[in-house]
A and B are shown apart, each in its own frame.
Chain A
Amino acid sequence: MPAFPRLVRLFTPVAALLLVACGGSPAPAPTADAEAAADPGELNLYTTREPGLIQPLLDAFTAQTGTRVNTVFVRDGLLERVRAEGERSPADVLMTVDTGNLLDLVDAGQTRPVQSQVLADAIPAHLRGADGQWFALSLRDRILYADKDLALDGFTYEQLADPKWKGKVCIRSGQHPYNTSLIAAMIAHHGAEATETWLRGVKANLARKAAGGDRDVARDILAGICEIGIANAYYVGRMKNEAEGSEQRQWGDAIQVIRPTFAIDGGGTHVNISGAAVALHSPNRDNAVKLLEYLVSDEAQSLYAKANYEYPVKAGVELDPVVASFGPMQVDALPLARIAEHRRQASELVDRVGFDN
């Protein structure tokens, strides 16, 4: 069998590579994690948030406290993973970019209450759980991007369904948590029936498929596909702070920003949060609380505003000039938990209306 030595020749380098692959690991091995969990100098963060956005904050925290922060970015399934890991879980802090996901973790009993005067003083009562189970760390307002040549004033979310915008509205998938949250708020204000009518109206006004991301709204306004659209505010901060002449800067410069409100007495702008909770089985509890307290310090809140262009939860923190240029924000007074209650109904409404089809 002359082919057999050839076969050996083929697989020998493969076997050698495998040995290399199993050995010398630059990333922390599982046993290292387990040991790390016992080390007071560490902290393990599970987050649905893109690590690039919080890394500057975590680096600053590490510089200040010496505590190393290990992160894993789990987009979907954070709850399922933590639940399956059970008491072995190394997770200390659970961080999400949506109220609903955070409350799911609380409801599933995967968080533990935190008593902290620092957190209570910094975060307004409606932006944290009454029992200390969860805390909002920054606000993400859902606003209107509009062609910069349009004359608009006092825009309301309800006006998105106005037939005068037929074929002129851009938005991402109705099933995206940012949108279901807005629709849920609409249900909380006006009821499911009125919201369905409104959503059908918005659907009829779409200029293109409800898909893509938030920045695509600005880009598509520049491209003339649409004239107005709904997206989160911090993308504008990012686009308008890009280098002059870059693509993103052109998208950002093509739009004006309007903070819509709900058309009711005292109605404000819809906000979602990024927030966090301490994990039920957190092995480094003290460090977990320290991180949360750091994240609401003036320094970190200002970093949120300047590095991420998000709105601080803490009053009186200096804003990025672009964010400041949007003017003062009147936040919708509806408690976040009430909005989250309607999230599922909102998602089902999106299906029923065929918003994404």
Chain B
Amino acid sequence: MTAAASALAMAPVRSRARPDGWLLAALAIAAVALLPLLALAWTAAQGSDAWPHIVANVLPQAARNTLWLLLGVGALSVAIGTGSAWLVTAYDFPGRAVMAWALLLPLAVPTYIVAYAYLDLLHPLGPVQGAIRSVLGHEGPREFRLPDIRGLAGCIVLLGLVLYPYVYITTRAMFMTQAAGLLEAARTLGASRAAVFRRVALPLARPAIAVGAALALLETLGDIGASEFLGVQTLTVSVYTTWVTRSDLPGAAQIALSMLVVVVAVIALERSGRRRAGYASAMRPRPMQPQRLRGAAGWGALALVALPVVLGFVAPATHLAIESGQRIVDGTGVSPMLWRSTWNTLRVALLATAATLAAGLVLAWALRLAQARRRTRLATAALRIGSLGYAVPGTVLAIGLLAPLAWFDDGANLLLRAAGLEPRMLLMGSLGALVLAYMLRFLAIAGGGVEAGLARIAPSLDQAARGLGAAPRRMLARVHLPLLRPALAAAALLVFVDAMKELPATLLLRPLGFETLATWLYADAARGAYEDGALAALLIVLAGLLPVILLARTGLTYGHEVAPA
């Protein structure tokens, strides 16, 4: 008792006396995250005489396309994500338990693969239109065919189908852990099903929807594979064109930087969605009792939630499996290189996940500590700056990283020379460069995930822990980390899946002879034989399945886990 009391008296003194190591670490991470952007700004400042052309002929169309794409994908992913999360949480129907995790499966399918697969599936020569023609009795595609999927509408639908799980996972966790009491009260008071959803569940879920939708929108903004393949000139595609086709890196950097405006808007949107959401609860949340849907209503609910799973995962994965099967039978599909690429992919994704999670934890924890002290400006800035990399297209980030990597290697080589050693490339062209690129790219997921997880832990717990004399590090280890476990696991799995799918930065920064599944697939796609990459694509999807299933378990069941036994 006396020990506790004296610790209580000492705690504020100690925190004043010591420099805040957590904040310093967070600022250091933010500084590293800022480096590629500063390098880009430097490049942009070199000036491009093409800017008048870009303003007149590129930006208007690209901005319009990007805006429609964001609106469309946002609306679609929120509708599918929220709707399905609500159905599997509030109602019980046949197949519900399977659907609850199967709804996450599209996360395992990279956007570029879904675009390749659907172009095959929906091509006039493909199975879908073939079946339609045979039903209608048409001979060939010249007599009857559906409109082409290349274009904005097709791109919106495909991206929405693979990005909705970001909304689904955040919203479902919210429905499960937060809403039960209120929803049951509303039901008891006689509110209709629709009214419960609209007047209680949706407003409660708004912060979760905002988080998930922001992730989906930032993925959309950075997408190059699907939009380029489907011929949609977005801002990101324009950055590529300006850089690659016109060899105008300053111009490309200028477009990339002007994209940051959109990014900031998306992040602001997410912030405003989350505001006034003091939803931390010291009470243990209680899972919701789902309502049983009988007969046609039950089957209808199943059909509704099965549709996004079938379109976003089953159809493209089955197509890949069939194409792969054909190539295995031909003996053209499997090579030792493919297995080595699989191993490389897992290895680098794992390293990147560890680095990203550690950095995200530092950023979010520094903010938590700052909140307790009510001086959050620096820590907030660090977290936001750390998140910017997610929104910059992969290659642009990688290009921005080239100069900082070279500086680092220059500095390291000065030391090596002084020590009488041969100069060598330490970061650039090694796994270090790749891991750093992934970390900066996906820090938003880890930082945001941990931040959201911390927000659910009532500040009163911190006060109690500090009151009992726990230093921040001890408090983190003993109080917060255990409570954060689901959030950490969810963030780790999301980062892992994303790192495994990442293509553009990998293409530019990987070492000699280092192929990942994504670069392997891309090599096939680049010579116009993307179906030869079916096996690599299938392996990406399969390798993504395990983390996604784990994610489903940790992310979706922890509502039960923390419930009183």
Contacts and interface: CB of A to CB of B under 8 A. Distances in A.
A3 to B, nearest CB: 4
- For B140, B399, B527, which residue has the most chain A Cβ atoms within 10 angstroms? B527
- For A27, A70, A85, A100, which residue has the most chain B Cβ atoms within 10 angstroms? A27
A347 B241 contact: yes
A286 to B, nearest CB: 19
A235 B526 CA distance: 12
B151 interface: yes
B148 A225 contact: yes
Contacts of B68: none
Nearest to A33: B512
- For B57, B150, B504, B512, which residue has the most chain A Cβ atoms within 10 angstroms? B512
Interface string A2-14: 0110110010001
Contact of B245 (A84, A177, A214): A177
A219 B129 CA distance: 15
A195 interface: no
B512 A84 contact: no
A84 B513 contact: no
A21 B350 contact: yes
A348 B57 contact: yes
Contacts of B57: 348, 351-352
Contacts of B528: 213-216, 235
Nearest to B477: A4
Contacts of B512: 28, 33, 44, 70-72, 90
B402 A80 contact: yes
A162 interface: no
Interface in A328-343: 343
A212 interface: yes
Interface stretch (B88-96, B99-107, B478-486): B478-486
Interface in A86-137: 86, 88-90, 100-101, 104
Contact of A31 (B228, B248, B424, B477): B424
B10 interface: no
Nearest to B43: A80
Contacts of B50: 344, 348
B523 A73 contact: yes
A152 interface: no
A63 B2 CA distance: 80
A313 B377 CA distance: 64
A225 B233 CA distance: 22
B145 interface: yes
B343 interface: yes
Interface stretch (B77-85, B286-294, B313-321, B425-433): B425-433
A63 B186 CA distance: 77
B153 to A, nearest CB: 11
A175 B241 contact: yes
A40 B190 CA distance: 83
A235 B482 CA distance: 57
A290 interface: no
- For A83, A104, A175, which residue has the most chain B Cβ atoms within 10 angstroms? A175
Interface in B399-435: 399, 402-403, 405-406, 409, 413, 422-426, 428-432
Interface string B198-237: 0000000000000000000000000000001111010000
B123 A18 contact: no
A277 interface: no
- For A25, A70, A86, A348, which residue has the most chain B Cβ atoms within 10 angstroms? A348
Given A18-B354, A71-B512, A211-B229, A88 B413 contact: yes
Contacts of B483: 3
A347 B511 contact: no
A348 B513 CA distance: 36
Interface string A208-240: 111111111001101111000000000100100
B409 A80 contact: no
A327 interface: no
Interface string B233-260: 1000000110111111100000000000
Contacts of B244: 76, 177
A30 B429 contact: yes
A216 B350 CA distance: 37
A53 interface: yes
A315 interface: no
A53 B245 contact: no
A71 B423 contact: no
B270 to A, nearest CB: 28
B309 to A, nearest CB: 27
Contacts of A213: 528, 530
A245 interface: no
B522 interface: yes
A28 B151 CA distance: 42
A315 B485 CA distance: 68
A225 B148 CA distance: 9
B485 A10 contact: yes
A33 B425 contact: yes
A76 B424 contact: no
A101 B247 CA distance: 8
A83 B428 CA distance: 12
A347 B246 contact: yes
B113 interface: no
A124 to B, nearest CB: 26
Interface string B328-348: 000000000000100110111
A30 B513 contact: no
Interface in A59-91: 70-77, 79-81, 83-86, 88-90
Interface in B527-542: 527-530
Contacts of A216: 528
A22 interface: yes
B293 to A, nearest CB: 35
Given A76-B243, A175-B245, A7 B485 contact: yes
Nearest to B426: A30
Contacts of A347: 241, 245-246
A51 interface: yes
Nearest to B233: A356
Nearest to A23: B347
A224 B527 contact: no
A225 B145 contact: yes
Nearest to B150: A209
A284 to B, nearest CB: 13
A26 B343 contact: yes
A176 B237 CA distance: 12
A79 B422 CA distance: 25
Contacts of B485: 3, 6-7, 10
Contact of A348 (B124, B246, B511): B246
B429 to A, nearest CB: 6
Nearest to A211: B231
- For A88, A90, A208, A344, which residue has the most chain B Cβ atoms within 10 angstroms? A88
23 contacts: A1-B482, A3-B482, A4-B482, A7-B481, A21-B346, A21-B351, A22-B351, A29-B431, A52-B524, A72-B514, A77-B507, A80-B508, A175-B245, A209-B150, A215-B528, A219-B123, A223-B125, A223-B141, A235-B528, A238-B529, A348-B246, A351-B57, A351-B58
Interface of B: 50, 53, 57-58, 61, 119, 123-125, 140-142, 145, 148, 150-151, 228-231, 233, 240-241, 243-249, 340, 343-344, 346-348, 350-351, 354, 395, 398-399, 402-403, 405-406, 409, 413, 422-426, 428-432, 477-479, 481-483, 485, 489, 492, 504, 507-514, 519, 522-524, 526-530
CB-based closest 10 A-B pairs: A211-B231, A30-B430, A3-B482, A224-B142, A223-B124, A34-B424, A84-B402, A209-B231, A213-B528, A351-B57
Given A50-B523, A211-B228, 9 more contacts: A30-B511, A70-B512, A76-B243, A77-B508, A81-B402, A84-B406, A101-B247, A219-B123, A356-B233
